[in-house]
Amino acid sequence: MAAKVDLKTSIDWKEAKAFLKGLSDKQREEHYFCRDFISLKKIPTWEDTEAKEAAGKEAQSRYEVDKALNEKISLFRGDITKLQVDAIVNAANSSLMGGGGVDGCTHRAAGHLLKEECRTLRRCETGKAKITGGYRLPAKYVIHTVGPIAQGDPSPSQVQELRSCYLNSLQLVLDHGIRSVAFPCISTGVFGYPSEAAAEVVLETLRGWLGEHKDKVDRLVICVFLEKDEKIYRKLLPHFFPLA
Ligand code: AR6
């Protein structure tokens, strides 16, 4: 067994990554940045959501009811860095060297080794995605994607770039055998993409992708941070993931 590595003081991200890979899920918990992490079991699926009663009885859905898909999607409001899922997605900038918003939170929580690994990835273009370890996060991986900067009405190419952020992240999910992944509301903070327009793109993209790949994942979590985003998703989800 590899010698124990202290993730707070280590300067070698490769060694730390190899060390974490050799640990069981239980053993990894000792290295998390927080104790109040939230396991996947504690995140209700859309099928089990307490909003079910109220959820869009009157909503005109564009899709058929599909219980299997409703069991694979969740809406969760809170800090994405606390989620014990296989991967969290980070709304990064093209330098991949950290910043504010969810990017700042992710780097603070994962610790300094995340930046060391990101440095080796060089840059990331808008709409593309790159993957690293999660280090001190409860998530094993971080998928870094760069959303479009859209102050005001997004152009057709910005819509496409936002869609690509989700699809390219999901491609990495498949490539790495990741079974659960949480997404923040990419581009809707500092990058200024209107929240409701973004949610439409996100839900259409996730519904389409899940329709094709549902057997390859256990859960896609939409992690909102702000109350206004929670309201938007509660309103729109029944249109894309109708409940019986
Ligand atoms: N957990 C979940 N969501 C969060 C968290 C958190 N801990 N913190 C913020 N959010 P933003 P962007 C939400 O600005 O618009 C950075 O400086 C937030 O409420 O983080 O893609 C990068 O380095 C919002 O809904 O990302 C880039 O330069 C969403 O995350 C730039 O910001 C996205 O807001 C990227 O801008």
Assigned domain for 22 exists = no
Q: What span, in angstroms and rounded, lies between the C-alpha atoms of 90 and 129?
A: 9
Pocket test for ligand 1, best of 123, 190, 229 (most atoms within 8 A of CB): 190
Q: What span, in angstroms and rounded, lies between the C-alpha atoms of 168 and 231?
A: 26
- Cα 193 to ligand 1 centre (Å): 11
Nearest CA to ligand 1 atom 25: 185
- Cα 100 to ligand 1 centre (Å): 7
Q: What span, in angstroms and rounded, lies between the C-alpha atoms of 235 and 199?
A: 10
Of ligand 1's listed atoms, the one at least distance from the Cα of 195 is 25
Spans of the chain below 70 pLDDT: 1-2, 50-59
Pocket test for ligand 1, best of 102, 146, 223 (most atoms within 8 A of CB): 102
Assigned domain for 187 exists = yes
Assigned domain for 32 exists = no
pLDDT at 233: 97
Task: Return all residues near 214 (Cβ < 8 A) that are at least 6 apart.
Answer: 68, 69, 72
Cβ(185) – ligand 1 distance below 6 Å: yes
- pLDDT, one tens digit per residue, over 166-222 is 999 999 999 999 999 999 999 999 999 999 999 999 999 999 999 999 999 999 999
**CA 8 to chain CA centroid, nearest Å:** 24
Pocket test for ligand 1, best of 82, 107, 225 (most atoms within 8 A of CB): 225
Assigned domain for 5 exists = no
Nearest CA to ligand 1 atom 23: 99
pLDDT at 68: 96
- Cα 106 to ligand 1 centre (Å): 10
pLDDT at 52: 62
Domain CATH for 229: 3.40.220.10
- Cα 23 to ligand 1 centre (Å): 30
pLDDT at 120: 97
Do the Cβ atoms of 70 and 45 come closer than 8 Å?
yes
Assigned domain for 7 exists = no
Give how many domains the chain has, as a whole number: 1
Nearest CA to ligand 1 atom 10: 102
pLDDT at 4: 87
> Which structural domain range is residue 74 located in?
50-240
pLDDT at 152: 85
Assigned domain for 75 exists = yes
Assigned domain for 19 exists = no
Cβ(148) – ligand 1 distance below 6 Å: no
Cβ(194) – ligand 1 distance below 6 Å: no
Assigned domain for 21 exists = no
